[in-house]
Amino acid sequence: QVQLVESGGGSVQAGGSLTLSCARSGVPDVSNAMGWFRQVPGKEREGVAVISRGGNTYYADSVKGRFAISQDNAKKTVSLHMNNLKPDDTAMYYCAAGLEVTNLGRWLTSADGSYWGQGTQVTVSS
């Protein structure tokens, strides 16, 4: 059974920092990428940052220079380090495991063929 469990969400003031973590289990070997996506009620899901098994990364323009994605393959975790948070970053953040991802940038926008966690809420106040 695939499980992706997010943690680390919370409420911060603008300019603050948070680190999200995702622990995975049961993910099949064909999964070769992990990522973070976010969604605000009434809006479409948005890709935030993705990382390949080999460590290549891809970020949404809106978070470049502020967010960093990292992974620990031994511990089967992926983290999202978020700095200089803005109110527009407020959303439910979801961890995803991508299956046979061939293009990180495309997966960031499409999130096709993925397993999903339950999400963790991030709220940034001005």
pLDDT, tens digit, 9 for 90 and up, residues 45-95:
999 999 999 999 999 999 999 999 999 988 899 999 999 999 999 999 999
Q: Round the average pLDDT of the chain to a whole number and report it.
A: 95
Residue 33 pLDDT greater than 80, yes or no: yes
| Predicted local distance difference test score (pLDDT) of residue 122 | 98
Q: Are 50 and 33 in contact (CB under 8 A)?
A: yes
Other beta carbons within 10 angstroms of residue 29's beta carbon come to 7
Q: Tell me the average pLDDT across 25-43.
A: 93
| Predicted local distance difference test score (pLDDT) of residue 61 | 97
Q: Tokens 């967010």 belong to which residue?
A: 67
Name the residue among 91, 87, 93, 95 with its Cα closest to residue 114.
95
Return the SS3 of 118. coil
| Predicted local distance difference test score (pLDDT) of residue 31 | 87
Measure the CA–CA gap between 16 and 22, rounded to whole angstroms.
20
